[in-house]
Amino acid sequence: MANKELNIRNKRARFEFHLDEVFEAGIVLTGTEIKSIRSGKASILEAYGLFDKGEVWLRNMHITEYENGSFYNHKPRADRKLLLQRKEITRIEKFLKIKGHTMVPLKLFLSEKGWVKLEIACATGKKLHDKRQDLKEKDDKREMDRLLKR
């Protein structure tokens, strides 16, 4: 394995959304996709989840084409199926039916067995005043840490 410490995060998710429930899901990938992910060439910043015909899919996740993958290479922005238990799928389905609710990926990582896993969250969008409140709390915490350091 090329990189045991794979850690691709969506840093904007916690700033843009109120996270309600977090799930850990597997992803159906092809050979060249897994090789690109293990070399750290993937992005989940613009990705989101959707429910279709009893299955949960991840759309708009970018995985760069593998350099050594001739004509067997994959499409960089193809929809990818998420592997979840039936109870989790029904909970996500009920959550996504409500207007204003979405599913966002938080983190892409390797499990102990070497499988690529995705941490996803059911979320609702934040308003502008919520974002300002988060920034204010962050600044206050930074100021308190500065004062305690002295």
For residue 62, the number of C-alpha atoms closer than 13 Å in the C-beta half-sphere is 7
* CATH architecture observed for domain 7-149: Beta Barrel (2.40)
Q: pLDDT tens, position by position, for the chain (150 residues)?
A: 444 678 889 888 888 888 889 999 999 988 888 888 888 888 899 899 988 888 999 999 988 888 777 777 777 888 899 999 999 999 999 998 888 899 999 999 988 888 999 999 999 888 888 888 888 988 999 999 999 988
CB 96 within 8 A of CB 50: yes
Indicate the domain borders of the chain: 7-149
pTM (two decimals): 0.77
Report the C-alpha gap between 131 and 127 in whole angstroms: 7
Report the C-alpha gap between 68 and 4 in whole angstroms: 20
Helix (H) or strand (E) holding 139: helix 128-149
Residue 57 has φ and ψ, to the nearest 5°, of -120, 150
